[in-house]
Amino acid sequence: MSGRIHPALVVFGAIVFIFLVAPLFIIVGASVSDTPYLAFPPRGLTLQWFWNIFAIEAFRSTAITSLQLAVLGTSLSLIIGIPAAYALNRYRVELPKWLSTVYVLPILVPEIVFGFSLMKSVSVGLGTPIFLSLLIGHALLVLPYSVRVVSASLASFDFSVEEAAISLGCPPLKTFFTVLLPNIRSGVIAAFILAFITSVNDVSISVFLTGPGISTLPIQILAYMQQFFDPTIASVSVLLMIVTVAVMGVVEATLGLTFLAK
């Protein structure tokens, strides 16, 4: 295996890479086009569509809602998900097998069905305010990621370490925070990022739960596209990419991204 790579592999790899990256290039190009419609290659060069995003109140308010939902929903899912993942791993033998499946249901059930049933049971059934309904929906949507990813890092955790701490005089709850959490930190951060991105991207659940005055950014993008076909949509997409890259950059700088591969 000393550096000899089959030419077909190079070609195949290149094709995959192009398919992954090319659409992003097209969007970046379209976002700066000086035309009132999406055009690639771009004609002229302008940043007016970027300014347009900030000029349109609906983009601003939905972006804020989306961020709030992502931060709060993801945090909520971790508050539920970390203890759940802990129990599922710690008491793997004692707990029934189907229990871990319950936490993946939001992924297994078609999102559209999940969204609809949430609307019927939460928004309509309980009459909860729109933002709260959205928050519950997003927290449930990303819960599987929290449980799964944290579980994965707990799977390699030796629980006798916890007993060692307790035997040395550390109470169980303090052990959880001072011994267990530091050892699954990378899993928790990975879960947060995955859940955060899933929440920000979500359409199918949010669409059932939004209501008058409150919407999320992806829903707003869809709504905008139905009326207008100017490059504002492309510039929103570029902006979202920049935010994602920035988040990854911060994570890379503080932790290193290697943990995502773990």
Partner 1 sequence: MTVSLEINSITAHYGTTKVLENLSLLVKAGELVSLLGASGCGKTTTLRLVAGFLTPTSGTIALGGKDLTRLPAYRRDIGLVFQNYALFPHLSVRDNVAFGLKQRGIAGVERSMKADDMLARVGLSALGARFPSELSGGQKQRVALARALVIEPPLLMFDEPLSNLDAKLRVDMRVEIRQLQRANGTTSVYVTHDQEEAFSISDRVAIMHQGRIMQFDTPEELYQRPANAFVARFVGFENLIPMKVVARKGEVATAQAPGGVTLDFPQRRFGAVPDDFVLATRADGLAVSADPASAGIPCRLGLRTYLGRAYQYQCETEAGHLIANGSLAEPLASGSAARLVPVPEQCCVLKPE
Q: Is 139 in the site for partner 1 (CB under 8 A)?
A: no
Entry field: residues in the chain? 262
ω before 41 within 30° of 0 (cis)?
yes
Q: Is 95 in the site for partner 1 (CB under 8 A)?
A: no
Contact 32, 47 (CB under 8 A): yes
Amino acid letter, residue 52? N
- Distant-in-sequence, close-in-space partners of 232: CB < 8 Å, separation ≥ 6: 49, 52, 53, 56, 224
**Beta-ladder partners of 214:** 211
Q: Is 226 in the site for partner 1 (CB under 8 A)?
A: no
Measured from the CB atom, the residue of 9 and 93 that comes closer to partner 1 is: 93
Site size toward partner 1, by CB under 8 A: 17
Q: Is 168 in the site for partner 1 (CB under 8 A)?
A: yes
Q: What is the 3-state secondary structure (H, E, C) of 65-78?
A: HHHHHHHHHHHHHH
Question: First vs last Cα of the chain: how many Å apart?
Answer: 24
**Shortest spacing between CB 166 and partner 1, in angstroms:** 5
Q: Is 223 in the site for partner 1 (CB under 8 A)?
A: no
Write down the residue that tokens 């993801």 correspond to. Answer: 74
**Shortest spacing between CB 12 and partner 1, in angstroms:** 37
One of 161, 225, 245, 246 touching partner 1 (CB under 8 A):
161
Site stretch for partner 1 (CB under 8 A), options 5-13, 84-92, 103-111, 176-184: 176-184
Please give the residues from 141 up to 160 whose contact with partner 1 meets the rule CB under 8 A.
158, 160
What is the chain's percent helix, strand, coil content, to nearest 5? Answer: 75, 0, 25
Measured from the CB atom, the residue of 18 and 161 that comes closer to partner 1 is: 161
One of 61, 183, 201, 204 touching partner 1 (CB under 8 A):
183
Rule CB under 8 A: which residues touch partner 1? 158, 160-161, 163-172, 175, 179, 182-183
